[in-house]
Homo-oligomer: A and B are copies of this chain.
């Protein structure tokens, strides 16, 4: 049922989720700024999305997601967040770059991959006490090439 949507249509949908505060519907100008495109591009995207029943939008009015649109937008947003967190919190990539990269990558991730990525993040970060140490080890490796052979090995062997 869910036909595949283009990267740019996904971006338009996602931006609606990201821009609305509370229940306030979103303006074309906001989307235009957020996505770095001119307003006519937004208008024409909205016409298309409206025809597909993914957004609610009448001339000169505000924009809202339909339930179908909401589903897709949330999906994209989840992919985005999974990637962004992985890059920023695990790889320790600069937050700005992480956000930008995530925004482009989010359109290429299959459902299976997204699910595993989310679990991986959870796995690595879910243990508040372990997390900082674990990442510190990785960080040290990035900066000095130190591989903490002994400790990890010893530990995991016991298991």
State the A residues within 8 Å of B (CB). Answer: 87, 90-94, 97-98, 100-101, 104-105, 107-110, 112-113, 116-117, 119-120, 122-123, 126-127, 129-130, 133-134, 137-138, 141-142, 147-149, 151-159
Contacts and interface: CB of A to CB of B under 8 A. Distances in A.
A141 B113 contact: no
- Main secondary structure, interface of A, reads helix
B159 A148 contact: yes
> So how many copies of this chain end up in the complex?
2
B126 A153 contact: no
Contacts of A107: 104
Given A123-B147, A149-B127, A134 B156 contact: yes
A91 B90 CA distance: 14
Contact of A105 (B105, B126, B158): B105
A129 B153 CA distance: 7
Contact of A108 (B108, B116, B126, B138): B108
